Amino acid sequence: MQKLSSQDAGFLKIESAHCPFHVAGLMILKLPANAPGNFLRQLANKCGRLNELWPEFSRKLHDPVDLSAAAWVPADDYRPEHHVLHYSLPAPGRMEDLLSLVTRAHERPLNRSRPLWEIHIIEGLSGDKFALYCKVHHALVDGVGAMKMLQTLLRSSPDERIDYGDSHPPIERHDSGHSLLHGLGDLGRGLQKQYKALPELSRLLAHMGVDALQGKQDVMRLPFTAPRSIFNTELDSTRAIMVCDLPLGTVRKIARQAGGSINDVLLAVCGGALRQYLLSQDALPKASLVAGMPVSLKSAGEGAGNKLSYIIAPFFTDERDDWRRLKRVIKVTRGAKQELGKVSTTAAEDYYALLMAPTVLLTITGNATLVRPAINAIFSNVPGSREKLYLEGAELQVLYPLSIVTDAMGLNITVVSHANKLCFAMISCPTGLPGIANLDKLFKESFRALRDAARDV
């Protein structure tokens, strides 16, 4: 038996029927021109052998019910058909039908009596395309690790194939604050680690507190100062998945023109879309919604390794002007990076976990909605491949990352770059959010409005 870390066991303990803790990815690929008629059946058979590549896929919980001493054991009853599902969309293979099917699959918790992963192969998309929906429990692999698993399957050449003779080491865990939800898994260790950085954190928080007392708006925010919104309520088990693509080249051009980053442009686009949605529901708070997002603080010239932290930044949903919204976003993120860049790597990486301790406790006890939100939504921009990628010769068209929402944090926006595209995936609970399925259209409208505003500057 291999004992689970307290963090990984925590993900299982916090999970409920209405808040599953799996991460997932939706890939859309184009069949090779010379694909045989049984191409997808062969792919399904190969996916059923993924446990040969990764030891994580060949283990299950020793006792799915009693997690007091949670441990992994070999899954000697492993059956591929329990983990690889293959089906077809009805003609004409619309994207709406695919998202409906994937949404239902994303709502369902993984079966704890089996290895905690699934791959769904979905054929029948128009244009000779098919989809792969892959999900894995956060206790088994975190979001970054799951993305690396997918990238391991993909190749830069259409002639390369999955090689089961390759040796794949266990996927590395990422415990340095990549995910807001990491704090939920191991509160005790996080607080102990924070103790050494307390003097630096105290100075940082004091500065942020002074900004808040002075009523400054274009600054990094403290947690639990976000306005209440319709996104920050108790969830049920239903989910809504919205996806869209933006052109990477145009976004990069806007960023250069404004003197900011690609991440700044995307955050401003999010702000415009959320503003329009909340206005349509007569539910726009006077104060701006705020995002919790991971950022890299590593500057040119620094050595190997990452310097990561979290920024709580406004979406500026209270700003009508699209160009001004972007400039305000740039001001906040630039100032936040400078502020966090002054402290040690340990303090910069871990201050957010310390600040989120109340959220952890409230989530565990089921009282997360009783206080003002720590943040209104999670926003994350994950770098992807600049090159075309292939799976068994099938070209990857888009890759959408599907993450986790919880009570009081019912909107998750994640972006992955692939080739010349930025692939947006938005996850929410639609109960109490009429028209949320149109959020993808609002994102495209917000992008076009910002693009037009940039042309007029």
Positions marked active-site:
138
Q: Is 90 helix (H, G, I), strand (E, B) or coil?
A: coil
- At residue 379, φ and ψ (nearest 5 deg) are -130, 125
CA distance 385 to 418: 5
Q: Is the Cβ–Cβ distance between 194 and 176 less than 8 Å? A: no
Q: Which residues contact 282 (CB under 8 A, 6 or more apart)?
A: none
Q: Is the Cβ–Cβ distance between 323 and 331 less than 8 Å? A: no
Q: Is the Cβ–Cβ distance between 197 and 351 less than 8 Å? A: yes
Q: Is the peptide bond between 92 and the residue preceding it cis, with omega within 30 degrees of 0?
A: yes
CA distance 150 to 145: 9
CA distance 238 to 100: 12
Q: Is the Cβ–Cβ distance between 175 and 185 less than 8 Å? A: no
Which residue in 445, 24, 437, 95 sits closest to 242, CA to CA? 437
The residues facing 134 across adjacent strands are 25, 119
